[in-house]
């Protein structure tokens, strides 16, 4: 009897955990405007999610490096006798990091666009226009998206 109860509880626990995992994954994918807007094939969805994972990894590393440079800039600016050449060098390196990220955003948009069919591209391009104009990442709602009825 105890074994039956144990295995029943274990099976129930596994089923609940699986259901929660599916809901979390579904919610995560539904928060991506692109996934909501387009009727993607499973292959397109997988490719776009792979591209997104690679981009988010790049962005995190870029953010880490930029943060380190800003910390270095802060140390330089608070020194008793700030070294103007060193400050200018750090500012240049911060600018390079920001430019590299902007280039990577463009590459990401082009890579995603290449995955889409010609029929899917207008919706993606409109989404991209709103997000780039607003300066928000593609996986977050743009300010205009907050006022639209969400499906």
Q: Give the Cα separation of 58 and 118 in Å (integer).
A: 28
pLDDT tens digit sequence for 70-81: 999 999 999 999
Q: What is the pLDDT of residue 89?
A: 96
Cβ 21 vs Cβ 7: under 8 Å:
no
Q: What is the pLDDT of residue 19?
A: 60
**Residue 48 structural domain:** 40-135
Neighbours of 94 (CB within 10 A): 17
Specify the number of domains making up the chain: 1
Whole-model pTM: value is: 0.65
pLDDT tens digit sequence for 4-62: 665 766 666 666 666 665 555 544 444 466 777 788 899 999 999 999 999 999 999 99
Kindly state whether residue 10 falls inside one of the protein's structural domains: no
- Higher-pLDDT residue of 67, 17: 67
- CATH number, residue 47: 1.20.120.1490
Kindly state whether residue 129 falls inside one of the protein's structural domains: yes
Q: Which residues contact 62 (CB under 8 A, 6 or more apart)?
A: 97, 100, 101, 104
């Amino acid at each position: 009897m105890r074994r039956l109860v144990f295995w029943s509880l274990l099976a129930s626990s596994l089923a609940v955990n699986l259901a929660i995992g599916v809901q979390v994954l579904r919610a995560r994918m539904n928060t991506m405007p692109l996934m909501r807007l387009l009727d993607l094939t499973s292959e397109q969805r997988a490719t776009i999610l792979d591209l997104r994972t690679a981009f988010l990894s790049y962005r995190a590393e870029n953010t880490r490096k930029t943060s380190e440079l800003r910390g270095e800039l802060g140390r330089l600016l608070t020194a008793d006798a700030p070294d103007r050449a060193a400050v200018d060098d750090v500012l240049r390196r911060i600018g390079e990091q920001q430019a590299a990220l902007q280039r990577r955003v463009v590459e990401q948009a082009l890579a995603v666009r290449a995955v889409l069919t010609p029929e899917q591209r207008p919706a993606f391009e409109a989404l991209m226009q709103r997000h780039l104009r607003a300066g928000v990442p593609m996986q977050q709602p743009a300010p205009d998206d907050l006022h639209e009825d969400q499906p």
